[in-house]
Amino acid sequence: MDGNQRRQADTESVPAQIRDLSEDAVKLLEEHARLFKVEMKEELSGYLRDGLILGLGGLVATVGFALLSSRLPRGAGVVYMLVGGATVLAMMKRIAKRSPVPRGIAEEIREDRRWLREMT
């Protein structure tokens, strides 16, 4: 290959490299969007499950309070209130510990930013 052919091959490869780079960037964004959707579904289902258990715990505690307020034996009401109250407190702590931002996608974005900084 002489010098002219090499320069022509180099100039033809630059647009091809740019095209490949842009295609890779689009694939990366699509992959991140797909990962974000999956993680958001998981987070949402976790919040819904914990919220449902929290509501059921509140209902059990309310039944316990109603039993305590009635003329029925007080032991059952106390048990219901304790179980319901403990469930409510446990679920409140569990919900408070959850992060509103999915951890996986946040870490992936940090990695990509780090990689892009190294490339420039």
What is the rounded CA–CA span in Å between residue 31 and residue 25?
10
The total number of structural domains in the chain stands at: 1
Nearest one of 100, 101, 64 to 81, comparing CA atoms: 64
* Predicted pLDDT of residue 31: 84
Whole-model pTM? 0.60
Nearest one of 94, 85, 115, 92 to 43, comparing CA atoms: 94
What is the rounded CA–CA span in Å between residue 77 and residue 84?
10
DSSP helix/strand/coil, 72: coil
Give residue 79's domain range.
Answer: 3-119
Q: What tens-digit pLDDT sequence spans the chain (120 residues)?
A: 455 555 555 556 877 877 887 788 788 878 878 888 888 888 889 889 999 999 999 999 988 888 888 877 777 788 888 899 999 999 999 888 887 777 777 777 778 778 767 765
